[in-house]
Amino acid sequence: MAPSEIVLNPQLCLDPFAVWYGRDSGEDLPRLASVPKGWPLSLDSPMAWSGGQFQGDHEYTYVLDEFEKIEIENALQSFKRATSLSDISLLHLLTRKTDLGLDGNEANESNFPLPTLQGRLRKLAAEVHEGRGFFVLRGLDPRKYTIEDNCIIFLGVSSLIGEKRGKQDDDGRMLCS
């Protein structure tokens, strides 16, 4: 069924984001008295949580130390040298191949090397895929880098966290690989 053919049933409104799907009239949507047949009554998983369970952001935030920041900067320079990316535009980075045949979204552990941080990122990736489902990485100052360099860093670091990567900016544009 194509997205335009999806029929929304207001009698089954279990979606907290219903407004996003065109139901933004402000009316209260009917709720079910119980879960549908076959659905679990509760979820027992590290990924089933509420914000009140966290005592603060320290529980899900990893702050890079100075050595790790230097390692990321070295990886950025290594990637740029390997792909001759020093003078290309963001559009080129995301949509066209470099002279050496790499897309900007092809940053990975072989061309964006993080030999020390890699182990920590793999553990954080396990938290994303098997634990609470997210973490926050802090420590880099994005103002220190160009837009292109920020994109490369994002793609390089996230290549160690998940196979598919994406980020939507405030204007709705996607940075994906």
> How far is 10 from 164, CA to CA, in rounded Å?
33
pTM score, whole prediction:
0.64
pLDDT over threshold 90, residue 141 = yes
Report whether 87 contacts 98 (CB < 8 A): no
The kind and range of the H/E element at 174 are: strand 174-176
| Residue 43 and residue 62 in contact, taking contact as beta carbons nearer than 8 Å | no
Place of tokens 């603060």: 56
Task: Report, as an integer, the average pLDDT of 24-38.
Answer: 67
Q: What is the pLDDT of residues 33-76, one digit of tens each?
A: 777 888 888 778 888 877 787 788 888 899 999 999 999 999 99
* Cβ-proximal residues to 1 (8 Å cutoff; 6+ apart), any chain: none
The ranges assigned to domains in the chain are 8-41, 57-176
